[in-house]
Amino acid sequence: MLRRLFAAAVLVAAIFAVLVVSGTVKFDRSSLSVSVGSGSSNGAGDVKRTAKATRSVALGAVPAPITEASGLAASSDNPGVVWTHNDSGGGASLYALGRRAQLKATLPLSGALNIDWEDIARGPGPAGGADWLYAADIGDNDAVRSSIRVYRTAEPNLSGFADGAQLAPSPTTSVELIYPDGARDAEALIVDPKSNDLFLITKRESRSRVYRAAAPAFAAERITLSFVRELSYGDVVGADACPNGRTVLVKRYFALDAYSGPSVAAALAATPSPRLLEAEPQGEAIAANPKCTGYYTLSEGVAQQLIRYSR
């Protein structure tokens, strides 16, 4: 009997070891818990590159003057930095936050106006190379604006600057956008990292609507958006695309979904899968990290926590 029990125990231990090595079973040493991965027909690496998080950590309270954070974009050129901005009525400035949620730098945007900034995204610049930052003045609670606007500016290199640096105003270019079917309120901007198309997702319909501006030149031109599709739900308050353009995160106040496909447009036509989301007072901001292995969220309000999600 003892020999049979010992043999069974050895077999179980061997199977468990194989699962751990393969990544199907993972240890969380901080809590002495075990999590079981969902697996993927494309391999564990592909699962990790779809912003699939199993845990979260609060990095710290975001300081003033960030009191109505409404968007997030994770930098690929300044490691550990995320950019945010205030909602309507705030200055036309972007704020860089560090690994402890500290204010690293303030970047005023020259020639920009904050009527109702609702999101920020990273995306290609006019000549390729390093990513640029896109600030979306697309909010319209009462659906009365005849047009909306997206600004674009080069992301500065923050190496060598002390925390709290006030940067010189950054030149911007912009594009004016018009809905083909009347004014709408939107709080989500996606910049396709491959095509440079802009995607807007509206908020207040029972089924949020996706609109597209094909690769604007950002020469202050005026573009009529094209309707793409409806989502299966409303109340979208933020969105972001991974740098590979294959995963799109779409956020509501109490839910976060990931869409996957060969492009942003194709991903948004796919069936979404849920992602981990912590409760926030008024969380409107979402950003995929540069490797698409996790993401960040941030809520409006004073001294809100910047939250990082990872596997």
Q: Following DSSP, what letter does each residue of 110-154 receive, concatenated?
A: ET---SSEEEEEEE--BTBSS-EEEEEE---TTS--S-EEEEEEE
When pLDDT is cut at 50, 70 and 90, the band that residue 38 belongs to is very low
Instruction: Let me know the angle formed at the C-alpha of 215 by 286 and 81, rounded to the nearest 5 degrees.
Output: 30
Element (H, E) at 3: helix 2-22
**Rounded to whole angstroms, how far apart are CA atoms 59 and 283?**
16
Q: Which tens digit of pLDDT belongs to each residue from 49-104?
A: 899 999 999 999 999 999 999 999 999 999 999 999 999 877 899 999 999 999 99
**Rounded to whole angstroms, how far apart are CA atoms 218 and 264?**
20
Q: Are 260 and 216 contacting, i.e. CB atoms less than 8 angstroms apart?
A: no
Pick from 290, 244, 241, 240: which is nearest to 78 by CA? 290
pLDDT given for residue 90 in this prediction: 77
Domain spans in the chain, listed from the N-terminal domain onward: 54-310
SS3 track for 231-290:
CCCCCCCEEEECCCCCEEEEECCCCEEEEECCCHHHHCCCCCEECCCCCCCCEEEEEECC
pLDDT given for residue 46 in this prediction: 57
Sign of the dihedral defined by the CA atoms of residues 106, 296, 73, 99, in that order = positive
Q: Which tens digit of pLDDT belongs to each residue from 115-144?
A: 999 999 999 999 877 899 999 999 999 999
Q: What is the average pLDDT across 191-209?
A: 97
Element (H, E) at 295: strand 295-299
Q: Which CATH topology does 54-310 take?
A: Neuraminidase (2.120.10)
pLDDT given for residue 1 in this prediction: 42
Q: Which tens digit of pLDDT belongs to each residue from 9-30?
A: 434 444 444 343 344 434 333 3
pLDDT given for residue 48 in this prediction: 67
pLDDT given for residue 47 in this prediction: 60
pTM of the model: 0.85
Report whether pLDDT(216) > 60.
Answer: yes
When pLDDT is cut at 50, 70 and 90, the band that residue 220 belongs to is confident
Q: Which residue has the higher pLDDT, 39 or 81?
A: 81
Q: What is the average pLDDT across 142-169?
A: 97
Report whether pLDDT(248) > 90.
Answer: yes
Pick from 203, 206, 207, 213: which is nearest to 178 by CA? 213
Report whether pLDDT(2) > 60.
Answer: no
Report whether pLDDT(152) > 50.
Answer: yes
Report whether pLDDT(110) > 50.
Answer: yes
Q: Pairing mode, if any, of strands 305-310 and 55-61?
A: antiparallel
When pLDDT is cut at 50, 70 and 90, the band that residue 42 belongs to is very low
Percent share of the chain, pLDDT over 90: 81
pLDDT given for residue 129 in this prediction: 77
Report whether pLDDT(281) > 90.
Answer: yes
Phi/psi at 141 (5° precision): -55, -35
